[in-house]
Every structure is written in C-alpha cells, then in structure tokens.
Amino acid sequence: MLKFLSIRDFVIVDFLELDFASGFTALTGETGAGKSILIDALSLALGERGDAGMVRAGCERAEISAEFDTTKLPQLQAWLREQELEGDDGVCLLRRILDANGRSRGFINGRSATLQQMREAGEHLLDIHGQHAHQSLLRPDAQRDLLDGYAGLGRDVEALALLFREWQALHRRRAQLEQNAEAVATERELLLFQRRELETLNFSGQEWIELQADYARLSHAASLLETAQLGVEVLSEADTACLAQLNMLMARVRAGMEFDTALQDTLTMLESAQNELQEAVYALRHYQQKLDADPQRLREQEQRMAAIVDAARKYRVAPEQLPEALQHITARLDELGGDADLAVLAQQETAAHEKYLAAAKKLGAARKKAAEKLSREITAAMQTLAMQGGSFAVALTPLAEGNIHGLDAIEFQVATNPDTPLRGLAKVASGGELSRISLAIQVAASQVAAVPTLIFDEVDSGIGGRVAEIVGQLLKRLGQRHQVMCVTHLPQVAAMADAQWQVSKSARNGATLSTICMLKQAERVEEIARMLGGVKITETTRKHAAEMLGMPS
C-alpha cells in the first residue's frame, strides 16, 4: 500500500509530504483547489508521460517520490529481483524527476529505470479509476485475471499454460520434421558421418598440447643429442674440461690456505661450483640416455598431427576446438530428433493436445459458472449506482484454436441503460459511469484483487442523495480489504471515509499554491458542512454534518 508521498514544485504545489494509512480516505476541497493534483502526481510516479507544463512556474524541475509497502506483494518482489531493482525488504520507492526543459528521469529503489519499468511496477501497486487515468480493468488480460482470481482458478490456469507449452513444443518439432523431412534427413546423415569421423579421431585438447611438445622434441632430437654431448665434453671429458681446470685451481687454493686462511671463502665457493657442474654432467648424460631419436615414432607423430590439422581445417576451427565442434554436432542431432519416428512423435503430440483440451474445457466450464455469478453481482450493484436498468456481463467467446489461456476470449461488457446493447467496457463513453462500474467490479472482486491501493476519481459524477450514500458505503466496504482513496465533492461519500484530506488553494508571495492537510474530527464537521451548505454555513448545517459523521450533535 501507499505509505508516503512527496511532491515538490509540481503544477501549483511547492512542497508537500503526506503519510497515508490503510482504509478509506476521502479527498475534498472547493472546485479548482487542485484535488486531482495528488492523482496526477501519483500517475507521474507510476510512469505516465509528463511535460514541461507540469513543472511549477519559475522552477527548474518537479520531483515526485512515492513509497509503497510491498510485504504482501511477492510477485512484485520477484519482478524487482528479476529487473535488478530490488531495495530494502518490503519497500518499493518510485521517484520521478521532470525538468523544465521537458527531460524526464525515473528511479526505482534509487536505481535508474525506464518509464516502461515504472509502469510495470505500478501495475502491481496501484490502480487509478477515473475519466483521465489509466485503468487496468480495460485490458483484456486484466479482465481475464480478475475473473480467474474471483473463481479461484490460479493453479488451474498455471497447469493449463504448462500443458499448452508442452503441446506446442511437440507440435513445432513434428511440423519441422514433416515440412523439412528431406532436408532434415540429409542434414542428419551428414551430421552422423561427421560425428563418427570426429569420434574415430578420438582427439582431446590435452592431446594436442602433448603432441606439439613431443613433435618439437622428436624433430630436433639430433641437435639436442649434439648439444648434450658437447655439454659433457666441455664440462668433463675434454683435455681442458671445466671440471679438470676447476679441480686444479681448488688444489692450488688449498695449498695457499697454509699461508692465508682468508682463502677459505673462495674455496667454499669453488667447491659449490664444482658440485653444481658435476650435477650438470650427470643430468646431461641422463638426458642423452632418455632422448628418443626414433625416426619411426617421429613419422607417427607427424601423421597424427596432420590428421588433426586436416580435420580442423575441414570443420573450420582451431585444432584445440575440435572437441567443441563434436559437441555442437551432437547437440544439433538432438534438436533434429536423432532417429525419432515421426509416427511416434505425432502420437505424442495428439496425446498432449488431448490433455490440453480436457484441461481447457474444464477451466472454461469453471470460468462460465464464475462469469454468471460475477455478472449478477455487478449488475445488482449497478442498480444502486444511478444506472437503473443497466446490466453487466462477462462474455466468453470461443477461440478457434485455443491459446495458452484457454479456449475462450474474455471480455467485460456493459449496458448502462435498459435500451442499449451490451458493449465492451473499454467503449463506455462516460467517465463517471466507467468509474462507478469499476467500483462495482472492485467491490465484487475485492477478496481476490491483487493491487493493494485503489484510487477513484469522479465516481460521484452525476449522482447525489441516496446513490451518493451507497457509493460511500461501497468505498468504505472496499477499504476494509484495500487502501482506498477517492476524490469527491459529495458529503455523503466523504462522511463514510475513515480519514479525510482537504485540498485548498491560496496565494502566497504572488503565487497560487495548493496544499493538502489531514482533517481532525472537528475540522471534518466544518468541511462536510461546507460541502452541504456552500458559502454560508449554519449551525443546522453543522449539526447535519456531525450526524453524517456519526458524532453526537
């Protein structure tokens, strides 16, 4: 539900901060005071398009921030996570900035968001019902969802969608195989040959690394042997070998130590060098023994590398990518169904279609029963809302093929007078009638409505007296399940509210500004009295207002 709203430099509002509670809240005030500014500000925060004219004259930008409690909205929380727009637990903060040059920026939980994302978030949070506002009940998908929710068919709808997807997947697979049978057979034959060829090659990326290292060693074996032999001779076997020269020097140094012990450090370093050189000789001799100079093995390595390079060139990949190419070939064979029998696939498709049809017919029957009940309830409510003789119907129109939602298209239809035919709800011309019909629908389906906050604008247009009192009662009843706000000029409606906000307009420093404040009980009496009696308020009018509010006179 809506918890907090901040409005800055918007139209004729300089700065407002409003805290909201649950239940039914009425917004009242004199004509022209700006009662619709609150709704316009919320609409902007929910992603509606704005223009530079909404920025208060002389200001650089307008800013709207709305905070909502989302603890009971798991679908919105999941959507926010999916969009990477999540914020604090149980909170959704929408912020909209509109510059005087017309530039607009939107934020969800402090992160930049598109207007489409703000609208999608708003669809979970708030519905505005009125002549100039977006209304979810005009959307066919919202009408279908409301009917399904009213009938408690949520799980059946999800199960049907799963059956539809399974049927369609089998249908597409079978149709693809049938329509491209020859091409598919040719492609499958080629892929099978390629798979056998690569499997026979039995190649891995690690083998390629080892092959390259072995080939480099084998192809330079003679040179490596010569290098090793030269090293042994230079270090140990030649007449002037390093080790012989070093041993001679070490003997001279030992002899010199009889006269000067300072040569000890030098002797130590020479002994270390002798050990290192001797180890090098052992290592070179061992290397000579291990080095394989087998020409036959070299030819085998060359042939193996040539086969791998040829295959890589054939499949247009690097040699180390051949295993990946085999994986792609295998995956494509799986997509083509391998050696799947078309007859078996057709049987699977038929069985899946029959399951879908059975579930869709069952769902359609449940929808029809719920539609008749919902139609009766809303038609009855219309009779009390200044639409005597009007009727409402949830029309289920059969679809030729069916879809993921079932075998019927669902449309809300209404006739506002006894002599007019039923028409789609979206075609109702009067904003006031549409608002009252929406009110009747929301009351009837309030136990399943997913949107926690409902705002009604002009629901009392063209009505008064007893009908106005009924509208107030309906809004109060709806406020027991939802947070409800209503812009109204009727005292009968305002008196039913749990809380009342007064919108007023005044001149300040040469500028006209609109303010909103919550009324205390005594202030409500004065406001209701004003709504009842106009300019001149008498004690009788105040007494009547107190009675309407249920206060002792």
Q: State pLDDT tens for residues 58-71.
A: 899 999 999 999 99
Measured between alpha carbons, how far is 494 from 128 in angstroms, rounded to an integer?
Answer: 18
How confident is residue 102, by pLDDT bands cut at 50, 70 and 90?
confident
What are the pLDDT digits (tens) for 413-429?
A: 998 888 888 988 877 75
One-letter amino acid at 31 equals: T
pLDDT at 178: 76
Q: Give how far the C-alpha of residue 169 lies from the chain's centroid of Cα atoms, to the nearest Å.
A: 24
| Bridge partners, residue 437, by sequence | none
Provide the pairing of β-strand 406-415 with 13-19: unpaired
**Assigned domain for 410 exists:** yes
Give the CATH number of the domain where residue 465 resides.
3.40.50.300
pLDDT > 70? residue 304? yes
> 117 vs 187, which has greater pLDDT?
117
Same-domain status, 329 and 361? no
Average pLDDT for 227-240: 73
CB atoms within 10 A of CB 180: 13
Per-residue confidence (pLDDT) for residue 96, from 0 to 100: 95
Residues 431 and 509 in one domain: yes
**Minimal CA–CA distance to 503: which of 35, 37, 12?**
35
**Total-model pTM:** 0.57
CA dist 116 and 79 (Å) reads 13
329 with 265, same domain: the answer is: yes
Could you give the strand order of the β-sheet that contains 391-403, starting from the edge strand earlier in sequence? Answer: 391-403, 406-415, 423-424
d(CA 364, CA 343): 31
CA distance 301 to 308: 11
Do the beta carbons of residue 228 and residue 291 sit within 8 Å? Answer: yes
**Domain end among 334, 368, 386:** 334
What percentage of residues in the chain have a pLDDT greater than 90? Answer: 28
Alpha-carbon distance of 229 to 235, in angstroms, equals 10
Residue with tokens 């019909």: 437
Q: Clarify whether residues 255 and 327 are in a common domain.
A: yes
Averaged over 436-454, what is the pLDDT? Answer: 74
Considering 301, 334, 367, which residue would you say is the last residue of a domain? 334
State whether 296 and 399 are in the same domain: no
Strands 13-19 and 61-69: unpaired
Q: Which two structure tokens, joined as six digits, stand for 372?
A: 């008749």
Looking at residue 497, its pLDDT comes to 93
Report, as an integer, the average pLDDT of 401-406.
92
How far, in Å, CA of 255 to CA of 267, rounded? 11
Would you say residue 179 lies in a domain?
Answer: no
pLDDT band at 239 (very low <50, low <70, confident <90, very high): confident
For residues 367 and 308, state if they share a domain. Answer: no
Structure tokens at 90: 């149980």
Query: Which pLDDT score is estimated for 460?
Result: 66
**What does the radius of gyration of the chain's CA atoms come to, in whole angstroms?**
43
Q: For CA atoms 503, 506, 508, 513, give the dihedral sign.
A: positive
Give the integer Cα–Cα distance in Å for 401 and 414: 27
Question: How many domains in the chain?
Answer: 2
Inform me whether the pLDDT recorded for 11 exceeds 80: yes
Sign of the Cα torsion 399, 403, 408, 411 reads negative
User: What's residue 241's pLDDT?
Assistant: 81
* Dihedral sign, Cα of residue 152, residue 154, residue 159, residue 161: positive
Question: Does 303 have pLDDT greater than 60?
Answer: yes
For the segment 321-341, what is each residue's pLDDT rounded down to a tens digit? Answer: 888 888 888 888 887 765 556
Instruction: Determine the pLDDT at residue 540.
Output: 85
- Return the structure tokens found at 339: 């050696």
Which of the pair, 468 or 391, is modelled with greater confidence? 391
Please, is 198 exposed, middle or buried when counting C-beta atoms within 10 Å of its C-beta (0-12, 13-18, 19+)?
buried
Task: Tell which of 300, 334, 368 closes a domain.
Answer: 334
Compute the average pLDDT of residues 460-469. 73
Whether 210 and 148 share a structural domain:
no
Q: What's the chain's length in residues?
A: 553
d(CA 469, CA 490): 9
**Angstrom distance (rounded) from CA 227 to CA 477:** 100
pLDDT at 332: 83
In this predicted structure, what is the pLDDT of residue 134? 41
Domain membership of residue 533 (yes or no) is no
Amino acid letter, residue 131:
Q
The whole domain housing 105 covers 2-158+355-519
DSSP-derived 3-state class of residue 403: strand
Query: Given pLDDT bands bounded at 50, 70 and 90, which one contains residue 432?
Result: low
Pairing mode of beta strands 104-108, 111-113: antiparallel
Residue 275 neighbours by CB under 8 Å, 6+ apart:
none
Q: How large is the average pLDDT for residues 202-221?
A: 69
Q: Is 10 a member of any domain? A: yes
The Cα angle at residue 329 between residues 328 and 335, in degrees rounded to 5: 90
Q: Are 467 and 503 in contact (CB under 8 A)?
A: no
pLDDT of residue 298: 58
**Residue 226 pLDDT level (bands cut at 50, 70, 90):** low
Query: Considering only CA atoms, which of 110, 107, 129 is closest in space to residue 118?
Result: 107
| 19-35 confidence digits (pLDDT tens) | 999 999 999 887 766 77
CB 547 within 8 A of CB 553: yes
SS3 55: strand
The pLDDT score that the predictor gives to residue 516 is: 87
Q: Phi-psi region for residue 534, left (φ > 0), alpha (ψ -120 to 50) or beta? A: left
- The residue written with tokens 């019927």 in the block is 408
pLDDT of residue 132: 43
Bridge partners of residue 414, in order along the sequence: 392, 423
Do 87 and 135 lie in a common domain?
A: yes
d(C-alpha 165, C-alpha 25), whole Å? 45
Q: To the nearest 5 percent, what fractions of the chain are helix, strand and coil? A: 55, 20, 25
Q: Give the per-residue pLDDT at 369.
A: 95
Residues 359 and 500 in one domain: yes
Residue 534's pLDDT is what? 64
Beta sheet of 453-457, edge-to-edge order: 126-129, 453-457, 483-487, 24-28, 499-508, 511-518
153 and 248 together in one domain:
no
* Cβ-proximal residues to 533 (8 Å cutoff; 6+ apart), any chain: 541
- 211 & 282 share domain: yes
Same domain, 132 and 83: yes
Q: Distance (Å, rounded) from C-alpha 330 to C-alpha 320? A: 18
Q: Parallel, antiparallel, or unpaired: how do β-strands 104-108 and 453-457 relate?
A: unpaired
Residue 99's pLDDT band, with cuts at 50, 70 and 90, is very high
pLDDT value, residue 127 = 81
Q: Is the pLDDT of residue 263 over 90?
A: no
Residue 513 lies in a domain: yes
Tens digits of residue pLDDT in 33-48: 677 788 889 999 999 8
Question: Can you give the pLDDT at residue 3?
Answer: 93
At residue 447, does pLDDT exceed 60? no
Residues 124-137: tens digit of each pLDDT: 898 877 654 445 67
Of 61, 75, 104, nearest to 92 (Cα)?
75
Establish if 442 belongs to a structural domain. yes
- 177 assigned to some structural domain: no
The pLDDT assigned to 223 comes to 60
Arithmetic mean of pLDDT over the chain:
83
Going by pLDDT thresholds of 50, 70 and 90, the confidence category of residue 156 is very high
E strands present in 429-521: 453-457, 483-487, 499-508, 511-518
Average pLDDT for 251-262: 85
Asked whether residue 540 is domain-assigned, the answer is: no
- Quick one: pLDDT band at residue 315, thresholds 50, 70, 90? confident
